[in-house]
Amino acid sequence: MPSDATAVNWTPSGKPFLAADYVNDGKKHLLLAASGSVATIKIPNIIHALSHCPDLSIRLILTSSAHEFLQGQSAEQPTLAEIGRMPNVGGVYLDGDEWSEPWVRGAAILHIEIRRWADLLVVAPLSANSLAKMSLGLADNLLLSVVRAWDTTGLIDGIRKHIIVAPAMNTAMWMHPVTQKHLRILEGEWGMEIAQDGWIEVIRPVQRTLACGDTGNGAMRDWSEIVAVVIQRLDLGNSTA
């Protein structure tokens, strides 16, 4: 694998990743992502819990900020290379992987191929910054490009697939009025529970003492609860050991 400084790669073989190569692999495809929050350190827990699902394939996207939390600082913060060797993980991607080679006509585009491949996208954690960008349709990194290119109608990929987000941020950020505006877009306009044609599910944060020392709402929901939602949404209940 390439060094963590430039991310892992498109596939363990080093060949360009093509969604079409995995259409008949017999797996459910989970695209797991993390943006810049301390809660990124829970990503290994989520992957480990899902490693017992034999019919599941996982690919991980980290924003540049999220990558800062997974560089081998401690046992709970392994390197990307270590995460890439965990069961069921088929690839780990950073922003640099999007255009690792000069693009030529006919070449695969990573954020499109990953969108085609994924049965479900889970962003845990979703930071305040990425929440704002997502709600406004910005696409200035690999993760947000996937979100922006998501087939929200199902007319392109043949099925409307869902995105689950688990916000995590400082209490003051969570309580900020602009955050509530952004949530109204995700939950009210795009939300699965409210909009008939919605595609977003928000797993709201909880109240506890945060890593920064503040106490209040904004902490990402416990990783085990997120795993339970993934298992239910992908119908993996009968495949866990």
Query: In which region does residue 174 sit, left (phi positive, over 0), alpha (psi from -120 to 50) or beta (all else)?
Result: alpha
Q: Where are the alpha helices (DSSP H) in the chain?
A: 43-50, 64-67, 80-84, 110-117, 128-136, 142-148, 171-175, 177-183, 223-233
CB 126 within 8 A of CB 166: yes
The answer to whether residue 53 is catalytic is: no
Copy the structure tokens of residue 169. Answer: 């941020």
Considering the candidates 29, 67, 111, 182, report the single residue annotated as catalytic.
Answer: 111
Question: How far is 48 from 187, CA to CA, in rounded Å?
Answer: 29
The answer to whether residue 111 is catalytic is: yes
Active-site positions? Answer: 111, 212
